[in-house]
Chains A and B, each alone.
Chain A
Amino acid sequence: MAEMWISMGPQHPMTHGLWTLKVKVDGETVVDTEPDLGYIHRGVEKICEARDFTQITTYCDRLCYASANTWSHSYIYAAEDLLGVEVPERAEYIRLIAVELQRIASHLMWLGAYGPDIGNLSIMVWCLREREMMMDLLQELGGSRMHYNFPRIGGVKRDLPHGFSQRAQAKLKLFLNRIQEYEALFDESTVFLVRSQGVGYAKPEEMINHGVSGPNVRAAGVDYDVRWAHPYSVYSELDWQPSVERSSIKGADCYDRYRVRVEEMRMSASMVLQALDKMPGGSETYHEPGDPKIIAKAPSRAPEGTSGSHHFEDSRGESMFYIAGGGEGRGKMPYRVSIRSPMFITIPYAAKCMIGYKVADIPAIMGSFDPCIGETDR
């Protein structure tokens, strides 16, 4: 049978955004793929060159709507490296809580979107219900529902509000119980198992060589995680292990990538509970915004010749910022901001993963890598 190219996207439920996957098919079998990105390129890196360091946080929130907090934190750590700021420990704990709650919300969003991808619509409603609890907590911190603009260079916008820790503990305990419901819904669904098991195999060494990291690598039986390998924040103070999945000998399939994210949500919930307990000053005390316990003074200018970078464990892999100082206004603005998006590197790899499988497996494989086009196109 003659081979032919077909375009999936830019408008296709598989894409989880706006991009095109060109697929070369031989009958029902995929023989070649070519992703085509850039449909929602906003030029964030260029815009940042005309904004001062505090204004950029807002733009970084909007890189990924499902995981806004991890992106603004990723930027803030790089900016602190550039400006040489030492952050108070209490602020680091609050940041950790914000980031891990965001990670749960992001994975729930993924799980909610992955269910409909492979024919289980009810899971979406369940996941978004629990995601709402996480977003309520994050709203208490940041003030808005999705784009929190919460971290500040040198600390955080505000302290944990009164009663936050009780509400967080109650909600996380409820959430930990409800995870079992998802597992029952997924693991006992024949449709889900048939469509996710045995497709999209990926081996860890190959993934690392292709620049893929995060949960996608941990699904294949390795415990590489930026949070311990390149330590930042206060992760080293908490008792946690990266979630690792026992994959098959051929590598991680879509089912392993689902399992590892469910385990990761458990681990994040446990980290938040630990951080609430361990926080210096206790989680019940409240400091006014601007208090030196939660925010340190930071210079507003970075001279020419300085640079800062930071590797950060995003919900989808390793994200990073590289900032060169010395832009307009005698260093008030960055000269160049460069963003590493984990999905920008993962999407070409996921497209390679599909070769040899059937056309009907494409949504299952693509969705399992958790694509987010906002950060990919920047």
Chain B
Amino acid sequence: MGKKISAAAQQKAAEELAKAMSSFDGVSAEIDSRSSGTQVRHTVSATSTPESWRQLAEALATDHAVDYCSMITGIHWPEAADKTWEVVYHLMRTGVKDPGAIEGVVQPNITDAENLTGADMPMEIQISISLPDTREPMVPSVQDLWVGADWNEKETWDLVGIDFEGHEGMRRVLNPHETPVGYHPLQKQHKLRYHGFEEMYDDAQGFMRKPADAGKIK
């Protein structure tokens, strides 16, 4: 049969990681069980304060073999009660090691998936950080721990406007370089639907579109 990781061992590994993460100040982590398809998988979901994030990230990278930054998401919540900005990190433990070599011939790493335990177990980690209402939302950068976070952080600043303290070489990546300072299209004040009017449905052919000076000139 093909590769299959043991759900029980994965649950145990997730519990250990969640416990280690919860020992930090301002961090609370718990296990999430997800099932899509025939196998259940256990992931770790955590919340952290912006102050303890850098410390937590360093510990994950060095002590818990979290080696992969999958995605960083910025969210603007102008109307939420408890937060205005949120940054969600999706990290992963992949367990990838450089393959060894015998007399100069590389021996591919073939994982024995059924007997993986502890810190070798692949793991998904989701960490969300809420930021208070501020004009300049900022969290510490993890660009130096996971280079994969580099362009994710650039994108989050570009689209959402959340800045990363200590990030080197911040610049626009998806928007044009000449985009005005302070314009971040995924902030919620920029609306797709306005005054109950949806261009795509209410005026698909564009017959109702009028020039800006309509009615003012003869």
Binding site for B on A (CB under 8 A): 37-38, 41, 43, 45-47, 49-50, 77, 80-81, 86-87, 89, 92, 203-205, 207-213, 217, 220-225, 228-242, 244-249, 307, 309-311, 318, 320, 322, 324, 328, 335-336, 338, 340, 344-345, 348-349, 377-378
Contacts and interface: CB of A to CB of B under 8 A. Distances in A.
Interface string B87-122: 010101011111101001111111101000000001
B108 A348 contact: no
Contact of A231 (B37, B109, B155, B173): B37
In the A-B complex, the 4 residue pairs with the smallest Cβ-Cβ separation, listed nearest first, are A211-B148, A229-B122, A228-B3, A221-B99
Residue of B95, B172, B174 most packed against chain A (CB within 10 A): B174
A209 B174 contact: no
A284 B207 CA distance: 49
Interface residues of B, number: 61
Given A38-B174, A222-B99, A228 B90 contact: no
Contacts of A92: 37-38
Contact of B71 (A247, A338, A349): A338
A210 B88 CA distance: 19
A50 B192 contact: yes
A249 B75 contact: no
Contacts of B174: 37-38, 41, 377-378
A208 B96 contact: yes
A221 B94 contact: no
B198 interface: yes
B68 interface: yes
Contacts of A47: 192
A204 B96 contact: yes
B95 A210 contact: no
A342 to B, nearest CB: 10
A348 B192 contact: no
Nearest to B158: A38
A232 B108 contact: no
Contacts of A309: 90, 126
A46 B193 CA distance: 11
A282 B38 CA distance: 18
B2 A240 contact: yes
Contacts of B69: 211
Contacts of B135: none
A207 B148 CA distance: 9
